[in-house]
Chain A
Amino acid sequence: MNTRKILTGVALAASSMLSQAQQLDITVTNLTQGIYYTPILIGAHNGDMSLFTTGEMASTQLQMMAEGGDISGLSMMLTDASADIVENPAEGLLAPTMSTTTMLDTTDGNMYLSIVSMMLPTNDGFIGLNSWMIPTEAGTYTFTLNAYDAGTEANDEVINGGGAPGVAGIPAAPGGDAGVGGMGVTQDEANAYIHIHRGSLGDDDLAGGKSDLDNTVHRWLNPVARVTVVVN
């Protein structure tokens, strides 16, 4: 942390350009074959806040997003920090292999880009970009995102509509390709800190078994999303 702060300080001293307003075109692509992304939240913000940090506990606002796809809490956090915000660029779910593109004008000092969206069907899985420093040089920048687990809910893999924070279960499988009657994979969430998602298990019994997920449809490997940022 110290190193990072020092580096940030040096970079700030080196160029006042860094805090200039910028105009960005941002494209998010769902790279998975069977996972849907709930309304995406994109924010350009200052270095004093972050939407999530691996190894730390999720905020209540992040939990709302990761368990139920509700981005209103995180959006309010961004608003309170005078961030530049795009909510729900895909106007609903971003289906497997689909892309959405949006523009974001940043204001002075909002030098960091963050992106989050819940992965369905999962209990509390989300795609995340945390505080990517927006380049000052015009150009096209492409990178990929991994899947995270908010650490707030046991991955029971039971689809029961449970999307409110603290309520067990998965809200829905938008592809309509999941099963029913799963006994539940686990009741435990031993790691309560935000971590890389270990992936879903699923099973091959759509009428029972441990999981309501289909193990040939609802698994994934990282990376799960691609982001292209055009700095104009």
Chain B
Amino acid sequence: MKRTSNKILALSMASFLALAGCDHNDSSSNNEDDMMVPAPAPVPVTYSFQVTVSNLTYAQPMSPIAVILHDEGQFWAIGESASSALEVLAESGDNSALLADSLVLMGQSGEGLIMPGKSETIEVSFDDNFPEYLSVATMLVNTNDAFTGINAMALTSLMVGESISLTTSSYDAGTEKNTELMSTIPGPASGGSGEGYNEARDDYDKIAMHAGVVSVDDGLSTSVLTQAHKFDNPTLHISISRTE
């Protein structure tokens, strides 16, 4: 939204300047136009970032990554209820609602699942104003509602050519009980047969750090998950470079 309105603003300013120029050459120009000092045309500036996300887990594919530039707000907080956009991502791996959130200046989705041991580099750019924050979110797909990522990291101190690396821990959206039943796990552990998003909130409805999956091998007899699906923190390694 913001990007569109900025473009429109730039276009209308450019046409105003062109018009003013014409008027100036016209002998019939009125004094009022002559008095106006045209503002210098804004020089288009692009701020670009490369975000490389590596999956550190043994057998938890990550849903298509959402990479978001924004100027304010955050996408989750411990103890708060998850937004419905975050709930959709955390339960089903679908990042489209989060990328369409009103906070988003510019959002970019990864191309597909990031399998364990794999990584993907996603580029995201924004014109006109320096984006204040970067957020990243993805679901651990062999879980009920686990997600991981970066929540509103300040970009202000990142100069062109610099990069920053960090690892992330995993969160529980609190919107779906961690039953680990085959019918509730959307990832390959259930053969993809399990349900993803369901608007019912049958858990604590508060975001917390994730306690990890239990699995059938570690004492939850009704779980479709095995020892292979267990994970520990951290779950992602992320490197962010500012390229322009």
Which A residues lie at the B interface, using CB under 8 A?
Answer: 29, 31-34, 96-99, 201-204, 215-216, 219-224, 226
Contact = CB atoms under 8 A, between A and B. Distances in A.
A204 B169 contact: no
Interface string B1-40: 0000000000000000000000000000000000000000
What is the predominant secondary structure among interface residues of chain A facing chain B?
loop
Contact of B222 (A98, A204, A220): A204
The 5 A-B pairs at the shortest CB distance, nearest first, are namely A97-B79, A33-B208, A31-B209, A219-B211, A97-B206
Interface in B157-204: 169-170, 172, 174, 177-180, 204
Contacts, number: 68
Given A97-B204, A204-B219, A215-B218, 9 more contacts: A31-B78, A31-B208, A33-B172, A98-B79, A202-B219, A203-B219, A216-B178, A219-B211, A220-B211
A189 to B, nearest CB: 21
Contact of A33 (B169, B204, B214, B219): B204
Interface of B: 78-79, 169-170, 172, 174, 177-180, 204, 206-212, 214, 218-222, 232-233
B211 A97 contact: no
Contacts of B211: 32-34, 219-221
A221 B79 contact: no
B78 A226 contact: yes
A97 B233 contact: no
B79 A99 contact: yes
Contacts of A223: 169, 209, 233
Given A204-B221, A219-B214, A97 B169 contact: no
Which of A98, A221, A222, A226 counts the most chain B CB atoms within 10 A?
A221
Contact of A221 (B177, B219, B232): B232
